Amino acid sequence: MQRMTALFSAALLATGLMTATAHAQQDQDQAQDPMATQQAAPAQDFSDDQLQQFADASQEIAVISQEYTQRLQEAEDESAQQEVRTEANERMIEVVENSGLDVDTFNAIGQSIQQDPEMMQRVQEMANQS
Protein backbone atom coordinates (compact mmCIF):
# COMPACT_ATOMS: atom_id res chain seq x y z
CA MET A 1 0.00 0.00 0.00
CA GLN A 2 2.80 2.43 0.85
CA ARG A 3 4.48 1.55 -2.43
CA MET A 4 1.33 2.51 -4.37
CA THR A 5 0.93 5.74 -2.44
CA ALA A 6 4.56 6.57 -3.16
CA LEU A 7 4.01 5.71 -6.81
CA PHE A 8 1.04 8.06 -7.10
CA SER A 9 2.88 10.75 -5.16
CA ALA A 10 5.76 10.52 -7.63
CA ALA A 11 3.34 10.63 -10.53
CA LEU A 12 1.51 13.63 -9.10
CA LEU A 13 4.77 15.43 -8.47
CA ALA A 14 5.73 14.67 -12.03
CA THR A 15 2.52 16.28 -13.26
CA GLY A 16 3.80 19.47 -11.68
CA LEU A 17 6.66 19.32 -14.17
CA MET A 18 4.15 19.05 -17.00
CA THR A 19 2.05 21.98 -15.82
CA ALA A 20 3.97 24.81 -17.51
CA THR A 21 4.02 23.00 -20.83
CA ALA A 22 0.43 21.92 -20.43
CA HIS A 23 -0.77 25.47 -19.78
CA ALA A 24 0.66 26.66 -23.08
CA GLN A 25 -0.88 23.67 -24.82
CA GLN A 26 -4.19 24.19 -22.98
CA ASP A 27 -4.41 27.79 -24.14
CA GLN A 28 -4.10 26.61 -27.74
CA ASP A 29 -6.57 23.75 -27.20
CA GLN A 30 -9.15 26.02 -25.59
CA ALA A 31 -8.97 28.40 -28.52
CA GLN A 32 -9.80 25.44 -30.77
CA ASP A 33 -12.10 23.53 -28.36
CA PRO A 34 -14.17 25.50 -25.84
CA MET A 35 -15.24 22.22 -24.17
CA ALA A 36 -11.64 21.59 -23.05
CA THR A 37 -12.22 23.57 -19.85
CA GLN A 38 -15.09 21.32 -18.84
CA GLN A 39 -12.95 18.21 -19.29
CA ALA A 40 -10.46 19.52 -16.75
CA ALA A 41 -12.97 20.06 -13.94
CA PRO A 42 -11.69 18.22 -10.82
CA ALA A 43 -15.24 17.50 -9.57
CA GLN A 44 -15.96 15.46 -12.70
CA ASP A 45 -16.92 11.79 -12.54
CA PHE A 46 -14.34 9.70 -14.34
CA SER A 47 -15.05 6.43 -16.10
CA ASP A 48 -13.32 3.21 -15.09
CA ASP A 49 -11.45 3.36 -18.40
CA GLN A 50 -10.12 6.83 -17.59
CA LEU A 51 -9.07 5.72 -14.10
CA GLN A 52 -7.32 2.67 -15.57
CA GLN A 53 -5.53 4.91 -18.08
CA PHE A 54 -4.49 7.17 -15.22
CA ALA A 55 -3.19 4.20 -13.19
CA ASP A 56 -1.19 2.86 -16.13
CA ALA A 57 0.24 6.25 -17.06
CA SER A 58 1.09 7.01 -13.42
CA GLN A 59 3.21 3.89 -13.17
CA GLU A 60 5.18 4.86 -16.28
CA ILE A 61 5.50 8.47 -15.13
CA ALA A 62 6.85 7.37 -11.75
CA VAL A 63 9.65 5.49 -13.53
CA ILE A 64 10.40 8.49 -15.76
CA SER A 65 10.34 10.78 -12.73
CA GLN A 66 12.92 8.66 -10.91
CA GLU A 67 15.14 8.51 -13.99
CA TYR A 68 15.03 12.25 -14.59
CA THR A 69 15.41 13.14 -10.91
CA GLN A 70 18.77 11.36 -11.02
CA ARG A 71 19.73 13.14 -14.25
CA LEU A 72 18.64 16.48 -12.82
CA GLN A 73 20.87 16.01 -9.78
CA GLU A 74 23.80 15.22 -12.07
CA ALA A 75 23.23 18.27 -14.30
CA GLU A 76 26.13 20.69 -14.07
CA ASP A 77 24.38 24.05 -14.44
CA GLU A 78 20.98 25.72 -14.75
CA SER A 79 20.96 25.36 -18.54
CA ALA A 80 21.59 21.62 -18.30
CA GLN A 81 18.91 21.30 -15.60
CA GLN A 82 16.37 23.11 -17.80
CA GLU A 83 17.20 20.78 -20.69
CA VAL A 84 16.59 17.76 -18.44
CA ARG A 85 13.28 19.22 -17.21
CA THR A 86 12.12 19.89 -20.77
CA GLU A 87 13.00 16.38 -21.90
CA ALA A 88 11.25 14.89 -18.85
CA ASN A 89 8.13 16.98 -19.54
CA GLU A 90 8.01 15.84 -23.14
CA ARG A 91 8.30 12.17 -22.17
CA MET A 92 5.65 12.44 -19.44
CA ILE A 93 3.22 14.25 -21.74
CA GLU A 94 3.81 11.57 -24.37
CA VAL A 95 3.05 8.83 -21.82
CA VAL A 96 -0.18 10.55 -20.78
CA GLU A 97 -1.31 11.11 -24.35
CA ASN A 98 -0.38 7.54 -25.35
CA SER A 99 -2.52 6.30 -22.45
CA GLY A 100 -5.57 7.81 -24.15
CA LEU A 101 -5.93 10.77 -21.77
CA ASP A 102 -5.11 14.40 -22.33
CA VAL A 103 -2.87 16.18 -19.83
CA ASP A 104 -5.76 18.20 -18.36
CA THR A 105 -7.82 15.08 -17.67
CA PHE A 106 -4.80 13.30 -16.19
CA ASN A 107 -4.16 16.26 -13.87
CA ALA A 108 -7.86 16.50 -12.96
CA ILE A 109 -7.91 12.82 -11.99
CA GLY A 110 -4.75 13.36 -9.94
CA GLN A 111 -6.40 16.23 -8.09
CA SER A 112 -9.57 14.23 -7.55
CA ILE A 113 -7.82 11.20 -6.07
CA GLN A 114 -6.02 13.46 -3.61
CA GLN A 115 -9.41 14.66 -2.36
CA ASP A 116 -11.34 11.38 -2.64
CA PRO A 117 -9.94 8.40 -0.68
CA GLU A 118 -12.42 6.02 -2.33
CA MET A 119 -11.26 7.02 -5.80
CA MET A 120 -7.64 6.68 -4.66
CA GLN A 121 -8.44 3.14 -3.49
CA ARG A 122 -10.06 2.26 -6.83
CA VAL A 123 -7.07 3.57 -8.79
CA GLN A 124 -4.63 1.73 -6.54
CA GLU A 125 -6.52 -1.52 -7.08
CA MET A 126 -6.46 -0.93 -10.85
CA ALA A 127 -2.72 -0.29 -10.73
CA ASN A 128 -2.15 -3.47 -8.73
CA GLN A 129 -4.00 -5.49 -11.36
CA SER A 130 -1.99 -4.02 -14.25
Question: Stretch 81-109: mean pLDDT, rounded?
Answer: 94
Query: In angstroms, rounded to a whole number, what is the distance separating the alpha carbons of residues 80 and 41?
Result: 35
Q: How confident is the model at residue 125 (pLDDT cuts 50, 70, 90)?
A: very high
Q: How confident is the model at residue 18 (pLDDT cuts 50, 70, 90)?
A: low
Domain extents for the chain?
A: 1-9+48-130
More confident residue, 36 or 85: 85
pTM: 0.71
How do residues 47-83 score in pLDDT, each as one tens digit? 999 999 999 999 999 999 999 999 999 999 999 999 9
Average pLDDT, the chain: 79
Highest mean pLDDT among 4-8, 34-38, 43-47, 71-75: 71-75
